[in-house]
Amino acid sequence: MDLIVQGQTFLLTYGPPFVAGIAILVVGSWVAGIVQRGVATTLERVGKVELTLARFLASLSRYLILVVVVLAALSQFGIQTASLIAVFGAAGLAVGLALQGTLSNVAAGVMLLAFRPYRVGDRIDAGGVQGMVEAIDLFVTDIRTDDNVQVLIPNGKIWGDKVVNHSKYQSKRLDFEVTVPDEADVESACARLVKLAAGDPRCLANPAPEAIIVKYAKDSVTVLLRSWCKPADEGAMRSSMNLALRNLSKSNFAGG
């Protein structure tokens, strides 16, 4: 009889908190999942947040809710959560110090994905490497160089250094310095240079190419030929223009 009474007392004392703790865990896990999906869906619909960052923020929101849920459930079980928070805080600080470099890369990755100084498919100079961006994640940026080599650069190195994005704008200016002999008709030479650039199929009509006299010497004049092309056409146009300018210089700009 005493055993039954003790059992009833135990159930009445610890049963409701236990049930409440289990309920908090179940409902909290369900809510955390809904919040995660909601955050991910909202950020993806907005379209201004990279998919990687959207998923990271969604997962972060879920885990933050789960931490609160676990602490609330433990308090229902009669466990002092204040001491646990202190222990977890100290452990988190120790882990943070041990993974300082990794966490700095994650923080830099979040900043890169949020501010987007470059995107997948852009051609950039970053971390001493030039090439095409293949992927951006929270730890590294994947770059494919011109000789088809994969280079993984830690995001912390990129965020703390200069980044040159060759694909940011729709056009890029190419400058060519040409030496015109003094005996040649300089105005005619400038007109031929502009015509030569405009004749290249990759040269943009707007802005139009132009020739500017930048330096006089005793027996020559230096002309700067400026032309514009799409970033993807830079290499091909630079090569063809250099060849055409070489042939034009060999003719000493003779003729009209």
Residue 256, pLDDT score: 46
Residues 6+ apart with CB under 8 A from 40: 54, 55, 58
How large is the average pLDDT for residues 48-69?
72
Q: Distance between alpha carbon 234 and the CA centroid of its chain, in Å?
A: 22
Segment 18-42 mean pLDDT: 77
Interval 125-150: pLDDT, tens: 998 899 999 988 888 899 999 899 99
In the structure encoding, which two tokens stand for residue 38, read together?
Answer: 């909601």
The segment with the largest mean pLDDT, out of 14-23, 55-64, 71-80, 194-203, is 194-203
**202 pLDDT higher than 90:** yes
Q: How confident is the prediction for the chain on average, in pLDDT?
A: 79
Of 32-36, 189-193, 208-212, 243-247, least confident by mean pLDDT is: 32-36
Give residues with Cβ within 8 angstroms of 141, minimum separation 6: 112, 126, 127, 133, 135, 152, 153, 155, 158
For the segment 168-182, the average pLDDT, to the nearest whole number, is: 89
